[in-house]
Amino acid sequence: MSARLLAVAVVGVGLLGTARAAMLPRWELGVGAAGISMPEYRGADESTRFVLPFPLFVYRLDWLKADRSGVRATLLESGRTEVNLSVNAGPPVRSKHNRAREGMPDIKPMVEFGPSLDIKLWQAEPDGAQLRAFLPVRAAFTVQSRPRVAGWVFQPRLNLDLPKLDGGWHVGLLAGPVFATRRQHAYLYDVNAAYARPDRPAYQAKGGYSGTQFLASVSRKSGDIWFGAYARYDNLRGAAFADSPLVRRRNYFTTGFAVTWTLARSSELVESPD
């Protein structure tokens, strides 16, 4: 999986609509384009920027949901709480193109899977503003011929979804800390003695606090056209790996957008997040 395709997947997850239920076509076909500006890894001082077209295929399953909190399969639902399967992904990094990691092994793309307890804390009215808490715990795996476990991640978040504002815009606000095991931090931020040099001393990361993230997103659908954009702020001050020589920036922004045009859709309607 290429860095660009994986990043488009991350953009798509970040820009999808709220979890508000609506009657939508079972499937849709179309085309789209996504753009992103993001650091090569959390704490990097070099970024990846691109715009990439892609085909659009949407098939809505009753047990699968996708919104600002990510892609997840519902395992259990009761009242205000759900237990879902949470999924996340991270792009690869080619060390020969990154000054901080020059001469070190590449970072393989990663996928994360695990359960998430999702709780509806407050809702103004059936279609009004909604506040939810997400408590996902995910195991990380590298994507390669022989995948390896790359630690665990715990990412509790609060998510405020606002109803359609003037002009039909959806607004979402998301914030929360990130915690990870030593193995996860070691994979990204350790410097083995064999790769140490005067400006990059040997380093072993500890597990624990991994920084805090704040995300704001907007989206709007008008006929067959859908548009979304987001901005995420990461603050790594106080993180367990903040003193790694591979961390060159302790706070930064990631931004992205996506636009899609639906060309065909099914006549069958299903209840799905709008």
User: What is the reported pLDDT for 4?
Assistant: 47
Question: Rounded distance, CA 96 to CA 122, Å?
Answer: 48
First to last CA, the chain: 29
Q: What is the pLDDT along the chain (274 residues), one digit of tens a residue?
A: 444 444 444 444 445 444 455 678 888 999 999 999 999 999 999 998 889 999 988 877 665 555 444 455 565 667 789 888 888 988 899 999 999 999 999 999 999 999 999 999 998 877 788 999 999 999 999 999 999 999 999 999 999 999 777 778 899 999 999 999 999 999 999 999 999 999 999 999 999 999 999 999 999 989 999 999 999 999 999 999 999 999 999 999 999 999 999 999 988 887 765 5
Question: Rounded distance, CA 211 to CA 178, Å?
Answer: 6
Beta bridge partners of 262: 30
User: What is the reported pLDDT for 72?
Assistant: 52
Q: Which residue matches tokens 């359609």?
A: 164
User: What is the reported pLDDT for 13?
Assistant: 44
Question: How remote is the C-alpha of 147 from its chain's centroid?
Answer: 21
User: What is the reported pLDDT for 70?
Assistant: 47
User: What is the reported pLDDT for 98?
Assistant: 96
User: What is the reported pLDDT for 124?
Assistant: 84
- The H or E element containing residue 145 is none
Phi-psi region of 223 (alpha: psi -120 to 50; beta: other; left: phi over 0): left
pLDDT digits (tens, 9 = 90+) for 179-228: 999 999 999 999 999 999 999 999 999 999 999 999 999 999 899 999 99
Rg (CA), the chain: 19
pTM here is 0.84
Round the average pLDDT of the chain to a whole number and report it: 86
How far is residue 203 from each of residues 186, 219, 247, measured CA to CA in Å?
Answer: 9, 42, 11
Question: Rounded distance, CA 249 to CA 175, Å?
Answer: 20
